[in-house]
């Protein structure tokens, strides 16, 4: 994998950085950089690290049944299966039904609603700086911290990973490669990603890039422990993988979509195997906490809600008559039934003397942070966590304190959270499902597929779980649900790039432009997109927090900068706090520009294009806006 810098987003800063880097390279060359590196490597190898290294891999949209170990004879995941057999396997481990909420809970030890994250768009996925993240705690304890892949907790300051405890950052934008916050034109092949806030051109397939860059980070000479966070975009849609990983599944008779989805998983499985071998070769295996998990249920659905195989997959059932998709669980990504939030979780740490095997205690994503800190011997500075330290469980094989716990899972995915939204309460073998006024109760001990509602037969269990849900909801209401504002005028990010996935005040019936729709020259299903369908979207406001009053240059684009798409309207309108600034669009310009003064504080900004100067009708939305602080 090769990379080189681009000069687009941060053109004001990139040239000085490039000059400084060149000068530094010349100095190091003159001083004998090889000798320096060898000395650092020797120093690192001669000084044992007293804290464990940490590698945390989280795949995206890979469900419980999408590994061979879990009774799937179709998929090929030999490396994950092998790792699982040598690890602690938490077989009753739960997350949120979608990705951003899971990631927020994972990194804070708090329920996602407490972390302020309950959606994947609309600015409701931004993890606020008031929360102390796992990366921040580890960094405070002398860990070198790096993230490689998908963040999806905020693309602007102060929500970015480099603002939340990560020293080294290489990520794509948004919730998947090619989404609106990502670099224009990314398709998972030879893309441009964000390294520490700067654009960088890469070579190769996305998953390979994340693992190769993470391996470089792991292999750096250092005298301190490291935390390598590898949250993958795979196998999130659109389902794309190198063709040599798709073809074997096509040869097995799978349709193109399913073959591509499974091909993504087999590819990431190979990368996990390579990383484990790399860590073993460097002699770090024993002192490394190595975790493989996923973020929610599978996004690929070969069965319906009755767990019956759909007609287009009948040929798979004929070839594999013993296969029960999703290991028989009901629900997929987005569902509060078991298949939407029960996921694989495997952890290994030889020096930690973990008791290898399977555990059925009720565990969850917000247990990960306190458990990692417990295994590393680090005092947890966050006193109000929902998560439990699972060290006793995974070292001794049992923990009586977990016996009576309940775990609440919800799928909000709305502008404002509501207790009417789908919610599940897990308690022992019981699952209470509640949406609007509909109440269901399932006993997984004799009904693992959740087909028989037994609410009427167990009023005492129903009452307890309803009470648990109400107490959980009341606590969240008391804490409140925050609107997130993107900071403007801070030197950490100037200019600020706004994208339409972060529009606020979106009406319930209006679609959100979250996936652009760029496609490589390969066969695939027509994934949802907004490119060529821009007319469906009405310009809406972004919420910004201006840190410094002063002069700002605002540029509004129809498409993002690299596209260079002409606006093809006569006028541009920038609306700041209900005040319109109108600018003529010249010829086939791809953006309009206005200089204006912004007051300090929280405010709204909206931008659109029109041919009607009298009515200023919102004929065409500006999908991207750049705000540059010029002077006081």
Topology of domain 408-479 in CATH is Arylsulfatase, C-terminal domain (3.30.1120)
Alpha helix segments (H runs only) across 74-120: 78-85, 99-108
What was the pLDDT predicted at 342? Answer: 98
| Same fold for the pair 48-397 and 408-479 | no
Topology of domain 486-631 in CATH is Jelly Rolls (2.60.120)
DSSP H/E element including 550: strand 550-557
More confident residue, 6 or 608: 608
CA distances (Å), origin 156, targets 74, 196, 493 = 41, 12, 8
The answer to whether residues 209 and 202 touch, using CB atoms and an 8 Å cutoff, is yes
The answer to whether residues 487 and 547 touch, using CB atoms and an 8 Å cutoff, is yes
Q: What is the mean pLDDT of residues 458-478?
A: 98
Question: 35-39, 366-370, 529-533: which range is least confident on average?
Answer: 35-39
What was the pLDDT predicted at 209? Answer: 98
Does residue 469 surpass a pLDDT of 80? yes
Instruction: Give residue 605's Cα distance to chain centre.
Output: 27
Residue pLDDT, tens place only, 574-624: 999 899 999 999 999 999 999 999 999 999 999 999 999 999 999 999 999
Structure tokens at 426: 């897990």
CA distances (Å), origin 112, targets 239, 404, 412 = 27, 21, 10
CA–CA separation, 91 and 357 (whole Å): 10
Does residue 44 surpass a pLDDT of 50? no
Give the three-class secondary structure for 598.
strand
Strand 542-546 and strand 620-621: the pairing is: unpaired
More confident residue, 45 or 149: 149
CA–CA separation, 399 and 406 (whole Å): 15
Tally Cβ neighbours within 10 Å of residue 598: 22
CA–CA separation, 239 and 77 (whole Å): 17
What was the pLDDT predicted at 27? Answer: 36
Does residue 15 surpass a pLDDT of 60? no
CA–CA separation, 169 and 147 (whole Å): 5
What was the pLDDT predicted at 353? Answer: 97
CA–CA separation, 302 and 317 (whole Å): 10
Residue 48 confidence class, pLDDT cut points 50, 70, 90: low
Q: What is the mean pLDDT of residues 471-485?
A: 97
Does residue 18 surpass a pLDDT of 70? no
Topology of domain 48-397 in CATH is Alkaline Phosphatase, subunit A (3.40.720)
Residue 573 has phi, psi (to 5 degrees) of: -125, 125
Q: What is the mean pLDDT of residues 618-632?
A: 95
CA–CA separation, 551 and 445 (whole Å): 65
**Angle ∠(616,123,368) on CA atoms, nearest 5:** 170
What was the pLDDT predicted at 466? Answer: 98
- Is this prediction's pTM over 0.95? no
Does residue 3 surpass a pLDDT of 70? no
DSSP H/E element including 409: strand 406-410
What was the pLDDT predicted at 2? Answer: 46
Helix 256-281 to helix 78-85 angle, to the nearest 10 degrees?
A: 50
User: Mean of the per-residue pLDDT values for the chain?
Assistant: 92
Residue 509 has phi, psi (to 5 degrees) of: -90, -5
Q: What percent of the chain has pLDDT over 70?
A: 92
Q: Which is nearest to 432 in space by CA: 474, 473, 467? A: 467
CA–CA separation, 167 and 144 (whole Å): 7
Residues 544-574: b if buried by 16+ CB within 10 A, e if exposed: bbbbeeeebebbbbbbbbebebebebebbbb
CA–CA separation, 611 and 41 (whole Å): 64
Place of tokens 């016996």: 403
Structure tokens at 99: 């990705």
HSE-CB for 379 with a 13 A CA cutoff: 2
Q: What is the mean pLDDT of residues 514-535?
A: 93
Residue pLDDT, tens place only, 256-275: 999 999 999 999 999 999 99
Tally Cβ neighbours within 10 Å of residue 526: 8
DSSP labels for 163-223? GTT-SEEEE-STTSTTBTTSPTT--SBS-EEEETTEEEEE-SBHHHHHHHHHHHHHHS--S
The answer to whether residues 300 and 258 touch, using CB atoms and an 8 Å cutoff, is yes
Residue 26 confidence class, pLDDT cut points 50, 70, 90: very low
Q: What are the domain boundaries of the chain?
A: 48-397, 408-479, 486-631
Q: What is the mean pLDDT of residues 438-461?
A: 98
DSSP tag of 304: -
CA–CA separation, 546 and 486 (whole Å): 8
Residue 288 has phi, psi (to 5 degrees) of: -125, 125
DSSP H/E element including 576: strand 571-576
Residue 43 confidence class, pLDDT cut points 50, 70, 90: very low
Strand 345-348 and strand 88-90: the pairing is: antiparallel
For residue 357, the cross-strand partners are 88
Residue pLDDT, tens place only, 190-235: 999 999 999 999 999 999 999 999 999 999 999 999 999 999 999 9
Does residue 245 surpass a pLDDT of 50? yes
SS (H, E, C) 261-276: HHHHHHHHHHHHHHHH
Residue pLDDT, tens place only, 64-92: 999 999 999 999 999 999 999 999 999 99
Q: What is the mean pLDDT of residues 324-344?
A: 97
DSSP labels for 19-38? HHHHHHHHHHHHHTHHHHHH
CA distances (Å), origin 524, targets 263, 517, 533 = 13, 12, 19
CA–CA separation, 485 and 500 (whole Å): 14
Neighbouring residues of 502: CB distance < 8 A, sequence distance ≥ 6: 121, 122, 123, 155, 156, 181, 486, 542
The answer to whether residues 540 and 506 touch, using CB atoms and an 8 Å cutoff, is yes
CA–CA separation, 592 and 225 (whole Å): 48
CA–CA separation, 63 and 60 (whole Å): 9
More confident residue, 30 or 519: 519
């Amino acid at each position: 994998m090769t990379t080189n810098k681009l000069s687009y987003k941060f053109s004001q800063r990139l040239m000085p950085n490039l000059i400084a880097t060149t000068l530094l390279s010349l100095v190091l060359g003159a001083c004998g950089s090889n000798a320096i590196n060898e000395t650092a490597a020797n120093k690192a190898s001669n000084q044992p690290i007293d804290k464990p290294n940490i590698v945390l891999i989280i795949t995206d949209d890979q469900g419980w049944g999408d590994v061979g170990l879990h009774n799937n004879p179709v998929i090929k995941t030999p490396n994950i299966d092998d790792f699982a057999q040598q690890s602690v396997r938490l077989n009753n481990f739960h997350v949120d039904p979608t990705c951003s909420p899971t990631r927020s809970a994972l990194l804070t030890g708090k329920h996602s609603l407490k972390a302020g994250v309950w959606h994947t768009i609309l600015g409701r996925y931004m993890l606020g700086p008031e929360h102390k993240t796992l990366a921040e705690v580890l960094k405070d304890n002398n860990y070198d911290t790096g993230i490689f892949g998908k963040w999806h907790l905020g693309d602007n300051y102060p929500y970015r990973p480099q603002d939340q405890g990560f020293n080294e950052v290489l990520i794509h934008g948004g919730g998947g490669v090619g989404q609106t916050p990502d670099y224009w034109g990314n398709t998972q092949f030879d893309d441009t990603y964000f390294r520490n806030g700067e654009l960088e051109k890469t070579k190769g397939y996305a998953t390979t890039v994340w693992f190769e860059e993470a391996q470089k980070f792991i292999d750096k000479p250092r005298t301190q422990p490291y935390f390598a966070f590898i949250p993958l975009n795979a196998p999130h849609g659109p389902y794309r993988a190198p063709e040599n990983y798709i073809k074997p599944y096509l040869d097995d008779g799978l349709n193109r979509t399913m073959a591509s989805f499974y091909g993504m998983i087999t590819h990431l499985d190979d990368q996990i195997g390579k990383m484990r071998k790399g860590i073993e070769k460097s002699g770090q295996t024993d002192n490394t906490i190595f975790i493989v998990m996923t973020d929610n249920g599978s996004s690929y659905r070969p069965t319906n809600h009755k767990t019956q195989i759909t007609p287009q997959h009948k040929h798979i059932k004929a070839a594999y008559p013993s296969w029960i998709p999703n290991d028989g669980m009901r629900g997929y990504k987005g569902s509060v039934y078991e298949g939407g939030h029960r996921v694989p979780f495997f952890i290994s740490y030889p020096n930690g003397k973990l008791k290898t095997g399977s555990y059925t205690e009720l565990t969850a994503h917000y247990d990960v942070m306190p458990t990692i800190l417990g295994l590393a011997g680090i005092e947890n500075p966050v006193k109000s966590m929902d998560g439990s330290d699972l060290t006793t469980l995974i070292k001794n094989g049992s923990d009586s304190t977990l016996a009576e716990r309940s775990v609440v899972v919800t799928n909000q995915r709305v502008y404002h959270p509501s207790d009417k939204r789908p919610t599940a309460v897990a308690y022992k073998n019981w699952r209470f499902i509640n949406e609007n006024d509909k109440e269901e109760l399932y006993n997984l001990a004799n009904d693992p597929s959740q087909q028989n509602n037994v609410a009427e037969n167990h009023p005492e269990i129903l009452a307890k779980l309803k009470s648990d849900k109400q107490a959980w909801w009341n606590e969240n209401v008391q804490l409140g649900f925050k609107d997130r504002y993107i900071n403007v005028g801070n030197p950490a990010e100037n200019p600020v790039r706004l994208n339409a996935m972060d529009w606020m005040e979106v009406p319930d019936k209006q679609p959100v432009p979250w996936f652009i729709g760029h496609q490589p020259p390969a066969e695939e299903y027509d994934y949802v997109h907004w490119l060529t369908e821009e007319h469906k979207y009405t310009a809406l406001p972004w919420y910004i927090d201006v840190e410094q009053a002063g002069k700002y240059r605002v540029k509004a684009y129809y498409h993002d900068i690299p596209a260079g798409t002409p606006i093809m309207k006569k006028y541009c309108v920038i609306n700041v706090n209900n005040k319109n600034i109108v600018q003529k669009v010249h010829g086939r310009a791809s953006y309009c520009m206005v200089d204006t003064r912004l007051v300090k504080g929280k405010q709204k900004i909206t931008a659109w294009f029109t041919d009607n100067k009298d009515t200023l009708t919102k004929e065409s939305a500006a999908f991207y806006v750049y705000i540059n602080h010029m002077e006081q």
